[in-house]
């Protein structure tokens, strides 16, 4: 069986874009707790070795205030991103 199809997400993943101070913090940002990081890495490795086209849906959480403040962005500012859980499709093409 394909490792991509048997993969199960663990941990938390967050994805966001700052609406303020885009000059210093441009683009999209991804954060994960330790379990989420290991889980996402395992999925990417599974995609890498997979011989068949596959896709998985990830659950993305809104980032916490503590995560937003990591880059010392004066309180984190406003953000674009999910206000609650969303699902994100990740697809591999051969």
- Using a 10 angstrom Cβ sphere, with 0-12 exposed, 13-18 middle and 19 or more buried, the burial of residue 63 is buried
pTM more than 0.75: no
Find all residues with CB under 8 Å of 83, minimum gap 6, and list them. 62
**What's the pLDDT tens digit per position in 3-50?**
889 999 999 999 888 777 677 777 888 889 999 999 999 999 998 888
CA distances for 33 relative to 10, 74, 81, 86, angstroms: 10, 22, 18, 17
pLDDT in tens, 72-94: 555 445 444 544 444 455 555 54
Which structural domain range is residue 61 located in?
3-92
Total domains in the fold of the chain: 1
């Amino acid at each position: 069986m394909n490792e991509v199809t048997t993969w199960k997400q663990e941990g938390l993943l967050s994805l966001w874009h700052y609406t303020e101070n885009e000059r210093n913090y441009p683009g999209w940002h991804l954060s994960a707790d330790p379990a989420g990081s290991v889980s996402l890495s395992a999925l990417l490795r599974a995609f890498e070795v997979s011989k068949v086209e596959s896709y998985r849906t990830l659950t993305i959480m809104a980032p916490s205030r503590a995560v937003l403040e990591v880059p010392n962005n004066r309180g984190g500012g406003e953000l674009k991103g999910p206000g609650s859980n969303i699902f994100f499709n990740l697809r591999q093409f051969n």
